Amino acid sequence: MPLPLQRSFDQMGAHLSEVPFCVLDIETTGGRASDMGITEIGAVRYVGGELQGSFQTLVDPGLPIPPSITILTGITHAMVIDAPPVAEMLPALLEFIGDAVVVGHNVRYDLSFINASLEHHGYSKLPNRSVDTAALARRLISGEIRNFKLVTLAAHFRSPVTPNHRALADAEATAHVLWCLLERAGTLGVTHLDDLLALPRARGAATYGKIRLTESLPRRPGVYLFIDRRDAIIYVGKAKNLRSRVRSYFYGDTRKSVGHMLRELVRIEHRVCATELEAEITELRLIRAHSPRHNRRSKPSRSTHWVRLTDEAFPRLSLARTVQEPALAHIGPFRGRKPAKAVIEALWDATRIRRCTHPAGSRPGPCSFAQIGAALCPCDGSLGEDRYRPVVDEILSGLDGRPEVLLDPLVARMTNMASSERFEEAGWVRDRHRALSRALERRTTWQMLQQAGSIRAVGTDGGAAIDRGRLVAAWPDGLAPPLLPPPTVPGSEEVARDVGDAEEAWLVWKWLNLPGTQIVSTEGPLDLASMVVRRLVRIAV
């Protein structure tokens, strides 16, 4: 029998004063959880610190109670012989717990017995979130007490109820310990459920005290900026929930780069965004503008390259640092020489485009590529333009709406190599296929967004106004769009002139294709249903 999913408490961002807590304790026969030897269950339920009810019952474990357990708990076999079995108690216990966050001292032990009993009797495991007061105490008051036993903590916090290894009394004492620990946690800015759940994982490094810098962050989409003592922006990130995301850096992130970044951190600034798309694009633009040293991705490219199909009697492929005419076509931009070179190699593998740079008729014999039949080269003067032109037309066709013309030969080549157990070479072709398919897809989507011109669309969290692939405005769900600038005439730019523009257009394209995004209006044609590039079929290499 499946249990209902626990409510999200607004995606775990609920204030602790609004969260129901069920403090639970059980007594057992001391065996394994799979034995389901529960002898007593005690629980108290609170909301906002106020007691809502209590639950207590002895349980017939169906097992003998060892004398050592009787000495510890005072529960004898005679006390439970007329008690109901656990199967009869489970429905009432589940109703009492409801959607509350389960709290316990070493709560995993208690939940292991409860969940074993639930599964044995046809239920699912408890879906509820849980909080362990022992783990909280280790994080918050380490060094103040000699150990973290419940009786020690209860005495330390002067609990009015003394734990005595009876379920209800121990649950009440645990509840008192919880409220005292929550008061301590509040001094660290732990005021919401997601903060509390993450607190036990927080690192004990000296930088943890800087978590106070996050107290003013809202629980909204946006971007955050880490700033050092020189007022330099050292990191920019995006988040669906600014507060939760930034605080997660202090909750068990052991990456060295994060440690270095937190040591340099002095101040945190943020910008709230209307939608997740706006947050993504704002992050991209800020990284381009400031080049933070801890951002590895999306930094301005040091060496932007394009692949150019030259405009000459016998066109060839070349690497270019700028988009210049005359040229038959460009592909790109690429972040560096290596990915651009991979696309050229993919086109060499897919077609017989010339590879040598010798002028036509300048050699007494064909170059090596022509000799082995890998390319058509005019270097010996025997190749006419009419015979060479179909190779150029093949590439242009692949660039202008028929990518399979260029990609299918690579798939066939890779398959043949894999069949011949030339796996390393097949892997090279696979990587070139991926580079080319990615470049073709981005080139085509760029051109489609240019042709569409001004676009208005509405997604699951709000709307966006887009102008030739660039976000110009965003608004949250349920609000009317702001006053927008007049639409521009749809463009015809073949490729982006900047890596940042290309990446922004790609983010926009992905958002437009998300389930739930609806196009409201466009200035020019925009066919989202068309498959731009067929994905590579998996082939073991």
Q: How many CB atoms lie within 10 A of CB 284?
A: 21
- Kindly report, residue by residue over 448-493, the tens digit of the pLDDT: 999 999 999 999 999 999 999 999 999 998 777 777 767 666 677 8
Confidence of residue 13 (pLDDT cuts 50, 70, 90): low
Strand order in the sheet with 222-227: 233-239, 222-227, 267-272
- Residue 526: per-residue pLDDT: 85
Domain contains 124: yes
- Kindly report, residue by residue over 409-461, the tens digit of the pLDDT: 999 999 999 999 999 999 999 999 999 999 999 999 999 999 999 999 999 99
Residues 6+ apart with CB under 8 A from 12: 129, 192, 193, 194, 197, 244
451 in helix, strand or coil? helix
What the block records as the tokens of 515 is 């389930």
- Residue 392: per-residue pLDDT: 95
- Pair 339, 271 in one domain: no
What the block records as the tokens of 347 is 């086109």
Last residue within a domain, chosen from 132, 165, 193: 193
- Pair 394, 429 in one domain: no
- Pair 144, 51 in one domain: yes
- 329's enclosing H/E stretch is strand 327-335
**Residue 340 contacts residue 305 (beta carbons within 8 Å):** yes
- Pair 380, 439 in one domain: no
Q: Give the Cα separation of 226 and 271 in Å (integer).
A: 12
Domain contains 538: yes
- Residue 258: per-residue pLDDT: 85
- Residue 206: per-residue pLDDT: 63
Nearest to 173 by CA among 193, 149, 208: 149
- Pair 107, 229 in one domain: no
Q: With pLDDT > 70 as the criterion, what percentage of the chain qualifies?
A: 92
Domain that holds residue 532: 422-541
Nearest to 221 by CA among 476, 539, 486, 533: 476
- Provide mean pLDDT across the span 210-230: 91
How many separate domains does the chain show?
4
- Kindly report, residue by residue over 494-528, the tens digit of the pLDDT: 899 989 999 999 999 999 999 999 999 888 888 77
- Provide mean pLDDT across the span 118-136: 93
Domain contains 377: yes
- Pair 50, 158 in one domain: yes
Q: Give the Cα separation of 537 and 541 in Å (integer).
A: 12
120 labelled catalytic: no
- Residue 537: per-residue pLDDT: 45
H runs (alpha helix) in 51-162: 67-73, 77-80, 86-97, 107-120, 133-140, 150-156
CA distances from 37 to 86, 113, 256, 324 (A): 9, 8, 45, 79
Q: What are the percentages of helix, strand and coil residues in the chain, rounded to 5?
A: 40, 20, 40
- Residue 254: per-residue pLDDT: 72
Residues 6+ apart with CB under 8 A from 386: none
Residue type, position 357, single letter: T
Rounded to a whole number, what is the largest CA-CA distance in the chain? 108
- Residue 204: per-residue pLDDT: 55
Q: Give the strand pairing for 38-47 and 50-58.
A: antiparallel
CA distances from 511 to 159, 253, 287, 461, 497 (A): 54, 29, 20, 11, 22
- Pair 433, 391 in one domain: no
- Kindly report, residue by residue over 149-169, the tens digit of the pLDDT: 999 999 999 999 999 999 999
**Residue 22 contacts residue 97 (beta carbons within 8 Å):** yes
pLDDT of 355 over the 50 cut: yes
Q: Give the Cα separation of 274 and 220 in Å (integer).
A: 8
Q: Is the pTM of this model over 0.85?
A: no
Can you give the CATH number for the domain in which 180 is found?
A: 3.30.420.10
Nearest to 433 by CA among 456, 409, 457: 409
pLDDT of 22 over the 90 cut: yes
Last residue within a domain, chosen from 256, 290, 324: 290
- Kindly report, residue by residue over 174-205, the tens digit of the pLDDT: 999 999 999 988 887 788 888 888 888 765 55
Confidence of residue 298 (pLDDT cuts 50, 70, 90): low
Q: How far is CA 83 from the centre of its chain?
A: 49
Point out which residues pair with 269 in neighbouring strands: 225
User: Does 136 or 486 have the greater pLDDT score?
Assistant: 136
Strand order in the sheet with 327-335: 317-320, 304-310, 327-335
- Pair 27, 156 in one domain: yes
Any idea which of 77-86, 221-230, 299-308, 476-485 has the lowest mean pLDDT?
A: 476-485
- Provide mean pLDDT across the span 314-336: 92
Q: CA-based angle 423:427:432, to the nearest 5?
A: 150
Strand order in the sheet with 462-467: 470-476, 462-467, 454-458, 518-522
User: Does 222 or 251 have the greater pLDDT score?
Assistant: 222
- Provide mean pLDDT across the span 275-300: 89
pLDDT of 345 over the 90 cut: yes
- Pair 339, 453 in one domain: no
- Residue 534: per-residue pLDDT: 55
Q: Give the strand pairing for 101-104 and 130-132.
A: parallel
Confidence of residue 112 (pLDDT cuts 50, 70, 90): very high
Point out which residues pair with 320 in neighbouring strands: 306
Point out which residues pair with 103 in neighbouring strands: 23, 131
Give DSSP secondary structure letters for 371-440.
HTTS----TTS---HHHHHHHHHHHHHHHTT-THHHHHHHHHHHHHHHHTT-HHHHHHHHHHHHHHHHHH
- Residue 9: per-residue pLDDT: 46
Last residue within a domain, chosen from 400, 430, 451: 400
Can you give the CATH number for the domain in which 220 is found?
A: 3.40.1440.10
- Pair 232, 277 in one domain: yes
Any idea which of 224-228, 288-292, 365-369 has the lowest mean pLDDT?
A: 365-369
pLDDT of 408 over the 60 cut: yes
Average pLDDT score, the chain: 88
- Pair 367, 453 in one domain: no
Q: Could you say which of 120, 121, 156, 165 is catalytic?
A: 165
Nearest to 203 by CA among 188, 186, 217, 183: 188
Domain contains 406: no
